[in-house]
């Protein structure tokens, strides 16, 4: 299907990570889409990472949900009108609320909704259904930071801005792989360090990640022990008399208790032992922190996703409060947000324990204020269930209807099979998504087609509190509608007033007015979140809105940094130290599950791959799920690099290929989160992850699950490249990914291949009786090898390569053949060998996605020309010359090449 479009150039915002880069989208007359960075956007200044740059490859209509769908009794989906689908949702919700009360229904939403969508969802649930059973995937992401901010500052506030990373003399990255997860911000740090080599970078992460490429010091902390580390730092600061007593006395409270708790971790040697860090290195970090006034400590999921997530956050903030390093240029604790609108969701109170506009659910006055503002019939008056508990309540039958929006919980929740059981038992499951085939949609009774990036219109807020417009530049696909409109339509059908918005600008205006509503008490703001200065904009002004950092209390105002006046949001204006008593992760490894599973992201994929998974360019970097582990652990558990292994926990099991990335200490394994039931037979890592949560914030412990590793014995390995999607026959294991003109399947099987031709034809979907099929094959029974190629009109249609040994050809040359409209005789001759006659054609796995440069190409260039610098590699083969995200990998290859010399 062709992308229909209005020819134009539009400035918008990237829909992926919380950096919130500005994107220029240019739509041509012929429907082509050109994507470039927006130099005028303050967050990114023209930069884009490879995911942002590949946005154009992800907006096709392939796989899109284009009409509402209803599930029939027999389990099949049928297309329905909006009228029927909305009726089903509204009637279902109304009936269940009438029969079982408002807490019997729930919404589970997402930091990928626009602020306007999020605002309406929250208003609908908390103000009109009258229950706070609305939680969001931000529970899995930012909730520990939110809890930490509220405890320390009195409100969920990120004090600093991106410029602070450039002004700092020390940047500490804790549990953050920014090189891969916040790439353009990381590039800003790289540039700053190049300009001022005296600037120091410390990375605290159990793995040696790409982010460590620029680190002066990498502390490979034992998983889960960050509180000990930062408590140790606080104790060190006190011992060395480095506390800013004037600041602490005038503007904070609670230092003595925090120091008491910090003391419980023992002396520096004991802390080093607990954290499994070399004591010299730990001391080096403490000294560096102690003497460097301009320090930014940025943290992400290695901190938040822990049963002591909120305490980890506060142990970091404690050190900044103790040294008075907050609210001034080049310093401060900095929570990097994950999703594009993680921050916007917090502004509108999307979490089950918050109210809109930073108001508090347990404050009767604020509840009344909101009820009055919304003219709402029934306000929620107690916190709702947090994500993990919410899905438990669904399984228990307490929640009978759930509406899931812009998130894929059957993949992303911990103990993901529990979530599957829960939805299977739920009376009414509604899912709003932009694509049809997701694991979660498979469990839904009603599917509602939402507008996606490029089609929808509204605002998002990034990590530095910058509100930017996402603008539409594509025409509406099929019957899809914006999320706010879908929610409003259901609300109206349920008889609720106040949902007759005539566009996102009207919702934004209400949101802005609410933030200023009764917020000014004698010149002091009750709530720091105030964007009253953005209220009253016309539709045109809203459409033209330039990026602006909140608070915006008056028109034209904007706030780069908070707390410059040293006033915090607690009633007495003082920030709080939190006494963070260290505690171990919920589940310790034992004899049955001796290893620790750590999970996270890879450079070129986004979450459950419903969008990035469509881009061939992004697929090249890491085409398969993997288990990264130390070679000695592999020996110990009898598994081999390149072969499959099974990872099993108390909760579930997954299968993936073993690799030794070189960055992981013994005792841990790392797996990516991106593969789902749509992209692999058994690599949905959430099924293995334990469901323990932080008692303070409810954030799950995604980074620490005890597991065991064992070989996944198979008889053969193989792969298929096919122009069309194939109904896969039963194989022991498969994964798939999108290539440029084909889908690539990696396979493994237990049953030995017997009647090879019939089997091969069945796998590739070629009629066994069709004697005229252009089919070439070779079988070597005793060698355990079978290869077949199917051609149609002299073009390669599909191919299948199978071997009982690890000797399959690289996929690159065959992949290239799919790009040819007609194969040359020599190419045809080479098909079954899977490679060109002349050597050197295999570029290896893609390192530079921007220019499609493979590892082997880079290695050959390094060896041939004796290259020693990443910039020389760029000059030779282009790799690293665009977004820069692959420079750490290029440098690792340079280092490897140096070893033998
Ligand atoms: N490419 C890409 N970028 C993304 C995303 C994506 O899907 N793909 N998603 C976005 C989202 S929503 C988020 S939340 C962010 C996440 O961004 P990050 O938090 O940077 O990414 P993760 O890979 O989840 O985890 C970060 C690191 O935490 C480390 N870690 C594990 N346990 C511990 C520990 O106990 N202590 C410490 N100090 N570190 C530990 C892991 O080894 C890992 O390297 O990325 C955003 N950006
Ligand atoms: N093991 C493990 N699990 C994790 C994590 C981890 O580190 N380890 N990290 C957690 C974190 S931090 C996060 S943020 C979550 C992310 O996990 P999810 O939110 O479940 O992942 P996504 O793939 O981003 O899901 C977004 C869904 O919304 C759809 N969508 C996209 N745009 C729109 C839109 O405009 N409207 C609607 N209605 N739908 C849309 C997409 O097609 C997709 O199906 O994963 C969490 N799970
Ligand atoms: S850094 Fe984040 S916001 Fe910027 S282009 Fe990449 S994914 Fe998008
Ligand atoms: Mo996230």
Torsional sign, CA 237, 241, 246, 252:
positive
Boundary residue ending a domain (276, 305, 335): 335
The atom of ligand 2 lying closest to the CA of 453 is 35
Say yes or no: 104 and 131 in one domain. yes
The atom of ligand 2 lying closest to the CA of 304 is 12
Residue from 407, 416, 451 whose mutation best tests the ligand 2 pocket (most atoms within 8 A of CB) = 407
Say yes or no: 461 and 513 in one domain. yes
What tokens appear for 827 in the block? 């190419």
The atom of ligand 3 lying closest to the CA of 13 is 3
Q: Which listed ligand is nearest to 108 at the C-alpha?
A: 2
Averaged pLDDT, 87-111:
98
What tokens appear for 752 in the block? 């030995």
User: Residue 868 is part of a domain; what is its CATH number?
Assistant: 1.10.10.1100
* Pocket around ligand 3 at a 6 A CB cut-off: 14, 16-17, 19-21, 44, 48-49, 51-52, 182-184
Residue 738: strand, helix, or coil: strand
Take atom 2 of ligand 3 and give the residue whose Cα is closest. 17
* Closest CA relative to residue 403, chosen from 677, 63, 110, 74: 110
Give Dmax over CA atoms of the chain in angstroms. Answer: 89
Contact 723, 797 (CB under 8 A): yes
| Number of domains into which the chain is organized | 6
pLDDT tens per residue across span 8-35: 899 999 999 999 999 999 988 887 899 9
pLDDT tens per residue across span 191-207: 999 999 999 999 999 99
pLDDT tens per residue across span 855-875: 989 999 999 989 999 999 999
pLDDT higher than 60, residue 2 = no
Residue 35: strand, helix, or coil: strand
User: Residue 317 is part of a domain; what is its CATH number?
Assistant: 3.40.228.10
Which pLDDT belongs to residue 7?
Answer: 61
What tokens appear for 716 in the block? 């053969």
Bridge partners of 459? 469
pLDDT higher than 50, residue 114 = yes
Q: Which DSSP letter does residue 80 get?
A: -
Bridge partners of 629? 669
Domain encompassing residue 229: 143-335
* Closest CA relative to residue 99, chosen from 495, 429, 427: 427
Averaged pLDDT, 318-332:
98
Mind giving me the DSSP string for 59-106? -SSTTB--S-EEE-TTS-EEE--HHHHHHHHHHHHHHHHHHH-GGGEE
Mind giving me the DSSP string for 104-171? GEEEEE-TTS-HHHHHHHHIIIIIII----EEEGGGGTTHHHHHHHHHHHSS------THHHHH-SEE
Say yes or no: 147 and 134 in one domain. no
Ordered alpha helix ranges (H), 252-308: 255-263, 268-274, 279-291, 301-304
Say yes or no: 257 and 307 in one domain. yes
Q: Which DSSP letter does residue 832 get?
A: G
Whether residue 535 lies inside any domain: the answer is: yes
Q: Which DSSP letter does residue 481 get?
A: B
Q: Angle CA(234)–CA(240)–CA(246) in degrees, nearest 5?
A: 75
Say yes or no: 535 and 671 in one domain. no
Number of Cβ atoms within 10 Å of the Cβ of 576 = 23
pLDDT tens per residue across span 336-349: 999 999 999 999 99
The phi-psi region of residue 458 (left if phi > 0; otherwise alpha if psi is between -120 and 50; otherwise beta) is left
Say yes or no: 643 and 726 in one domain. no
716: part of which helix (H) or strand (E)?
Answer: strand 716-722
CA distances for 36 relative to 64, 522, 632, 689, angstroms = 24, 46, 45, 38
pLDDT tens per residue across span 450-508: 999 999 999 999 999 999 999 999 999 999 999 999 999 999 999 999 999 999 999 99
Averaged pLDDT, 242-265:
97
322: part of which helix (H) or strand (E)?
Answer: helix 309-322
pLDDT higher than 90, residue 426 = yes
Residue 87: strand, helix, or coil: helix
Q: How confident is the model at residue 6 (pLDDT cuts 50, 70, 90)?
A: low
pLDDT tens per residue across span 140-151: 999 999 999 999
Take atom 40 of ligand 2 and give the residue whose Cα is closest. 406
pLDDT higher than 60, residue 1 = no
Q: How far is the CA of 111 from the centre of ligand 2 (A)?
A: 8
Which pLDDT belongs to residue 563?
Answer: 96
Say yes or no: 440 and 541 in one domain. yes
Q: How far is the CA of 219 from the centre of ligand 1 (A)?
A: 16
Take atom 24 of ligand 1 and give the residue whose Cα is closest. 600
CA distances for 259 relative to 269, 296, 690, angstroms = 17, 21, 32
Rounded to 5 degrees, what are φ and ψ at 160? -100, -165
Take atom 4 of ligand 3 and give the residue whose Cα is closest. 21
pLDDT higher than 90, residue 131 = yes
Contact 103, 133 (CB under 8 A): yes
pLDDT higher than 50, residue 153 = yes
Q: Which listed ligand is nearest to 611 at the C-alpha?
A: 2
Q: How far is the CA of 469 from the centre of ligand 4 (A)?
A: 20
- Tokens 């960055």 locate to 663
Whether residue 851 lies inside any domain: the answer is: yes
Boundary residue ending a domain (526, 549, 572): 549
* pTM summary value: 0.96
Q: How confident is the model at residue 840 (pLDDT cuts 50, 70, 90)?
A: low
CA distances for 663 relative to 209, 218, 785, angstroms = 6, 11, 35
pLDDT higher than 90, residue 520 = no
Task: Please provide the size of the chain in residues.
Answer: 901
pLDDT tens per residue across span 60-90: 899 999 999 999 999 999 999 999 999 999 9
**Calpha distance 357→359 (Å, rounded):** 6
Whether residue 555 lies inside any domain: the answer is: no
pLDDT higher than 90, residue 782 = no
Whether residue 63 lies inside any domain: the answer is: no
- Kindly compute the dihedral angle of the four CA atoms of residues 242, 244, 249, 254, in this order, to the nearest 10 degrees: -60
Q: How far is the CA of 302 from the centre of ligand 1 (A)?
A: 6
Averaged pLDDT, 628-640:
98
Mind giving me the DSSP string for 204-216? E-SB--GGGGG-S
Whether residue 736 lies inside any domain: the answer is: yes
Whether residue 792 lies inside any domain: the answer is: yes
Whether residue 321 lies inside any domain: the answer is: yes
User: Residue 680 is part of a domain; what is its CATH number?
Assistant: 2.40.40.20
Which pLDDT belongs to residue 606?
Answer: 97
What tokens appear for 287 in the block? 């000294």
Question: Is the CB–ligand 1 distance for residue 207 below 6 Å?
Answer: yes
Averaged pLDDT, 631-651:
97
Per the prediction, the chain carries an average pLDDT of 95
Pairing state of beta strands 401-405 and 595-600? unpaired
Say yes or no: 130 and 152 in one domain. no
**Calpha distance 263→311 (Å, rounded):** 15
Contact 78, 69 (CB under 8 A): yes
Question: Is the CB–ligand 1 distance for residue 315 below 6 Å?
Answer: no
321: part of which helix (H) or strand (E)?
Answer: helix 309-322
Say yes or no: 201 and 284 in one domain. yes
pLDDT higher than 50, residue 670 = yes
Averaged pLDDT, 548-570:
94
Instruction: Give the distance from CA 610 to its chain's centroid.
Output: 12
Boundary residue ending a domain (711, 744, 772): 711
Q: Angle CA(295)–CA(299)–CA(301) in degrees, nearest 5?
A: 170
* Pocket around ligand 2 at a 6 A CB cut-off: 110, 112, 137, 140-141, 301, 305, 338-339, 405-409, 411-412, 432-435, 438, 450, 452, 456, 483, 599-600, 607-608, 610, 673, 685-686, 689, 702
Say yes or no: 389 and 473 in one domain. yes
Contact 870, 837 (CB under 8 A): no
458: part of which helix (H) or strand (E)?
Answer: strand 458-461
Residue from 23, 43, 44 whose mutation best tests the ligand 3 pocket (most atoms within 8 A of CB) = 44
- Tokens 């505690």 locate to 583
What tokens appear for 219 in the block? 């502390």
Rounded to 5 degrees, what are φ and ψ at 718? -165, 175
Kindly give, in sequence order, each residue whose CB lies less than 8 Å from that of residue 338, ignoring residues fewer than 6 positions away.
17, 18, 111, 141, 142, 181, 300, 301
Q: Which listed ligand is nearest to 850 at the C-alpha?
A: 3
Say yes or no: 162 and 136 in one domain. no
**Calpha distance 600→607 (Å, rounded):** 9
Whether residue 579 lies inside any domain: the answer is: no
Say yes or no: 113 and 244 in one domain. no
Rounded to 5 degrees, what are φ and ψ at 627? -120, 110
């Amino acid at each position: 299907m062709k992308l229909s479009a209005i020819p134009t150039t539009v400035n918008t915002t990237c829909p992926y990570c919380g950096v919130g880069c500005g994107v220029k989208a240019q739509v041509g007359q012929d429907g082509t889409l050109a994507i470039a960075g927006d130099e005028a956007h303050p967050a990114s200044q023209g930069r884009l990472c490879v995911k942002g740059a590949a946005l154009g490859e992800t907006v096709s209509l392939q796989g899109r949900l284009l009409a509402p769908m209803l599930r029939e009794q027999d389990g099949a989906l049928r297309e329905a009108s909006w009228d029927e689908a909305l009726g089903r949702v509204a009637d279902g919700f109304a009936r269940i609320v009438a029969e079982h009360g408002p807490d019997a229904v729930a919404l589970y939403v997402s930091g990928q909704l626009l602020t306007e969508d999020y605002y309406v969802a929250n208003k609908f649930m908390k103000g009109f259904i009258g229950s706070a059973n609305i939680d969001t995937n931000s529970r899995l992401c930012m909730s520990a930071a939110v809890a930490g901010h509220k405890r320390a500052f009195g409100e969920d506030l990120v004090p600093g801005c991106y410029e602070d990373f450039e002004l700092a003399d020390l940047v500490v990255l804790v549990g953050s792989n920014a090189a891969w997860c916040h790439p353009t911000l990381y590039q800003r740090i790289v540039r700053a360090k190049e300009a001022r080599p005296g600037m120091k970078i410390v990375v605290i992460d159990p793995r040696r990640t790409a982010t460590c490429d620029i680190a002066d010091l990498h502390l490979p902390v034992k998983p889960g022990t960050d509180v000990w580390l930062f408590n140790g730092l606080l104790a060190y600061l006190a011992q060395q008399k480095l506390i800013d007593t004037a600041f602490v006395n005038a503007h904070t409270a609670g230092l003595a208790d925090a120091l008491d708790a910090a003391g419980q971790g023992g002396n520096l040697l004991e802390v080093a032992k607990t954290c499994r860090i070399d004591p010299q290195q730990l001391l080096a970090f403490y000294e560096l922190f102690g003497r460097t006034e301009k320090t930014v400590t940025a943290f992400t999921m290695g901190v938040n996703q822990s049963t002591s997530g909120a305490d980890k956050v506060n142990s970091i903030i404690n050190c900044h409060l103790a040294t008075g390093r907050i609210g001034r240029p080049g310093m401060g604790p900095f929570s990097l947000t994950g999703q594009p609108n993680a921050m916007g969701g917090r502004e509108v109170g999307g979490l089950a324990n918050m109210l809109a506009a930073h108001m508090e659910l347990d404050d009767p006055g604020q509840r009344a204020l909101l009820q009055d503002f919304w003219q709402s019939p029934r306000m929620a008056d107690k916190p709702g269930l947090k994500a993990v508990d919410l899905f438990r309540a669904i399984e228990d039958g307490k929640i009978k209807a759930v509406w899931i929006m812009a998130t894929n919980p059957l993949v992303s929740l911990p103990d993901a099979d529990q979530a599957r059981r829960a939805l299977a038992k739920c009376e009414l499951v509604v899912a709003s998504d932009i694509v049809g085939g997701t694991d979660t949609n498979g469990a839904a009774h009603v599917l509602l087609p939402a507008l996606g990036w490029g089609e929808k219109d509204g605002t998002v807020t990034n990590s530095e509190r910058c509100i930017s417009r996402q603008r539409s530049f594509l025409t509406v696909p099929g019957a899809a509608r914006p999320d706010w409109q879908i929610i409003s339509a259901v609300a109206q059908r349920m008889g609720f007033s106040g949902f007759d918005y005539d566009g996102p600008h009207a919702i934004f205006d209400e949101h802005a007015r609410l933030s200023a509503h009764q917020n000014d008490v004698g010149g002091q703001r009750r709530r720091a979140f105030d964007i009253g200065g953005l209220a009253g904009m016309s539709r045109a002004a809203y459409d033209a809105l330039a990026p602006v950092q909140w608070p915006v209390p008056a028109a034209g105002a904007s706030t780069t940094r908070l707390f410059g006046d040293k006033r915090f949001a607690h009633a007495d204006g003082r920030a709080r130290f939190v006494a963070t008593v260290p505690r171990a992760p919920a589940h310790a490894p034992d004899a049955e599950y001796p290893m620790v599973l750590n999970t996270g992201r890879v450079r070129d994929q986004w979450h459950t791959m419903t969008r990035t998974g469509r881009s061939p360019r992004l697929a090249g970097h890491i085409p398969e799920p993997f288990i990264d582990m130390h070679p000695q652990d592999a020996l110990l558990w009898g598994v081999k690099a390149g072969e499959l292994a099974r990872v099993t926990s108390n909760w579930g099991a997954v299968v993936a290929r073993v690799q030794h990335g070189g960055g992981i200490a013994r005792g841990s394994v790392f797996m990516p989160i991106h593969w789902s039931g749509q992209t692999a037979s058994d690599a949905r890592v959430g099924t293995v992850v334990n469901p323990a949560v932080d008692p303070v914030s409810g954030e799950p412990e995604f980074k620490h699950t005890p597991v065991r590793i064992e070989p996944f014995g198979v008889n053969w390995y193989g792969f298929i490249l096919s122009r069309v999607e194939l109904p896969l026959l039963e194989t022991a294991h498969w994964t798939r990914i999108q290539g440029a003109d084909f889908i690539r399947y990696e396979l493994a099987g237990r049953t030995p291949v017997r009647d090879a031709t019939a089997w091969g034809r069945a796998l590739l979907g070629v009629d066994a009786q069709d004697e005229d099929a252009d089919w070439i094959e070779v079988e070597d029974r005793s060698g355990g090898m079978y290869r077949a190629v199917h051609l149609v009109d002299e073009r390669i249609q599909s191919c299948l390569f199978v071997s009982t040994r690890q000797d399959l050809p690289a996929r690159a040359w065959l992949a290239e053949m799919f790009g040819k409209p007609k194969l040359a005789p020599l190419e045809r001759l080479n098909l079954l060998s899977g490679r060109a006659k002349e050597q050197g054609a295999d570029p290896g796995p893609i390192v530079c996605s921007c220019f499609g440069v493979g590892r082997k190409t880079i290695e050959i260039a390094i060896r041939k020309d004796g290259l020693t610098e990443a910039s020389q590699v760029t000059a030779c083969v282009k790799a690293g010359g665009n977004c820069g995200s692959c420079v750490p990998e290029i440098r690792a290859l340079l280092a490897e090449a140096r070893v033998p010399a």
